[in-house]
Structure 1
Amino acid sequence: MDLKYPIGTFEHIGDISLEQREAWIRDITELPSLMRQAVQGLTEEQLRIPYREGGWTIRQVVHHVADSHMNSYIRFKLALTEDNPTIRPYHEDRWAELPDTELEPIETSLQLLDSLHRRWVRLLAVMTDEQFARTFYHPGSQETMRLDMTVGSYSWHGRHHLAHITMLKERLNGF
């Protein structure tokens, strides 16, 4: 199994059906509780273990998911209120090295994910097809991104990092 991409990379070709979009929104809805379950019982020492050689620690992963999903939520709001806005990329690797990532308990980011996802899912639940078709421009990848595809990307993103945590936890427990 590829420890860097345990569930593979995000791929979707073609139109996005209502059923697919609803499944992705369910993933986003469920992520906070699944993340909390995944880290339950881990010690402070275990939170400092990288999920793979050269990878982030579990603590960094939890804080990264909160940081990343905050950025995505803001991008949604920008795309819904502006015409194809250019979003601001950020250096996620540098964010993961900042002192708050090392010093702040993961509970802070778990609570943030609870609140953030509640707001995000509330927004996603009432968006129209026309709103899901709205776009933003990502200068880092030089791509124009539709919001419906972005829902899929963040469904994958949460499951991707959740798999990092659960795989390490299984290795620690000797499964």
Structure 2
Amino acid sequence: MSLDAPARTALLERYRTGPALLRQAWLEVPAAARSWRPSEGRWSAQEVVVHCADSETYAAIRIRLLLAERDPLIVGYDENEWARRFDYAAADPDLALRLIETVRAHTSATLDRVPEEAWGRLGRHTQSGAYGTDDWLRNYAAHLELHTAQIRRNLAAWEGRA
């Protein structure tokens, strides 16, 4: 289902405010809890933040491919494998947060210049099939909100541990 202009505007605003939500959630986590994992195979708050940085840099390329290329191919990736291979547990979360803020600001400014007729372009995602600009916006408007909630769930679990 294609987005109308008001729905797109609302999603773009959510997209813009995502980094502040994520940073606030990170700041609420005590230093002792930042690397704590709620269970085997689950990410710590730090790993969540670093994942978001990788995801944001890739998302910035994805929307540019969708807006500028003919029949773009959006390649999926295994986020758990990235977390392992790139050792998210040892990465700098403050650097990751700054990257997220910068990439989102730059992409937001780019999207502000996109003409209305550019929205609705389609490509193909290697994991989910047809994938367009509206799909991208729905996904990434919510992405940092979802991970903000994940960080807060981690914190609640850390505070409630026996």
Is 1:74 the equivalent of 2:61? yes
> For 1:144, which of 130, 144, 150 is the aligned residue?
130
> For 1:95, which of 60, 65, 82 is the aligned residue?
82
Q: Structure 2 vs 1, CA of residues 85 and 99 (structure 1 numbering), >3 Å: closer, same or farther?
A: closer
Q: Give the root-mean-square deviation of aligned CA atoms.
A: 1.9
Superimposed CA distance per residue, residues 11-33 of structure 1 (whole angstroms, 9 cap, x where no aligned partner): xxx33122211111111111111
Q: Structure 2 vs 1, CA of residues 80 and 99 (structure 1 numbering), >3 Å: closer, same or farther?
A: closer
The answer for unaligned runs of 5 or more in structure 2 is: none
The answer for unaligned runs of 5 or more in structure 1 is: 1-13
Please give the secondary structure, in 2, of the residue aligned with 1:40: helix
Q: Structure 2 vs 1, CA of residues 99 and 43 (structure 1 numbering), >3 Å: closer, same or farther?
A: farther
> For 1:65, which of 52, 60, 84 is the aligned residue?
52
TM-score normalised per structure 1: 0.82
**Counterpart in the other structure of 1:158:** 144
TM-score normalised per structure 2: 0.88
Q: Structure 2 vs 1, CA of residues 97 and 126 (structure 1 numbering), >3 Å: closer, same or farther?
A: same
Superimposed CA distance per residue, residues 67-119 of structure 1 (whole angstroms, 9 cap, x where no aligned partner): 11211110111122211211222221111113441222200110001100001
**Counterpart in the other structure of 2:23:** 36
**Counterpart in the other structure of 1:111:** 98
Q: Percent identity?
A: 26
Check the 8 A contact 1:50/1:56 in 2, yes or no. Answer: yes
Check the 8 A contact 1:51/1:164 in 2, yes or no. Answer: no
Q: Structure 2 vs 1, CA of residues 156 and 41 (structure 1 numbering), >3 Å: closer, same or farther?
A: closer
Structure number with the higher helix fraction is: 2
Please give the secondary structure, in 1, of the residue aligned with 2:84: coil
* One-letter amino acid of the structure 2 residue matched with residue 57 of structure 1: S
Please give the secondary structure, in 2, of the residue aligned with 1:97: helix
